[in-house]
């Protein structure tokens, strides 16, 4: 079980790497729908920065 920076709990996920890092974007539409748009914007910005820094 991993508790992420936003207090999300992940159990037995294939998206975990070394039980420390979650790969992908966890979205909880059932309990935290109001946070989805902000999470998508933040994730898109992170991906954009990572892609730009790789070139």
For the stretch 29-54, pLDDT in tens is 888 899 999 999 999 998 899 888 87
- Look-up of token digits 């039980």: 19
pLDDT band at 19 (very low <50, low <70, confident <90, very high): low
Distance CA 5, CA 40 (A): 16
Q: Look up the domain containing 20 and give its range.
A: 2-53
- Look at the chain and report how many structural domains it folds into: 1
Tell me the pTM: 0.57
Structure-token pair, residue 22:
């979650």
Rg (CA), the chain: 13
Intra-chain end-to-end CA distance of the chain, in Å: 35
């Amino acid at each position: 079980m991993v508790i992420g920076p936003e207090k999300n709990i992940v159990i037995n996920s294939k998206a975990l790497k070394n039980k420390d890092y979650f790969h992908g974007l966890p979205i909880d539409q059932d309990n935290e729908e109001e946070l989805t748009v902000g999470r998508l914007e933040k994730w898109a910005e992170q991906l954009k920065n990572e892609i730009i820094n790789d070139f």
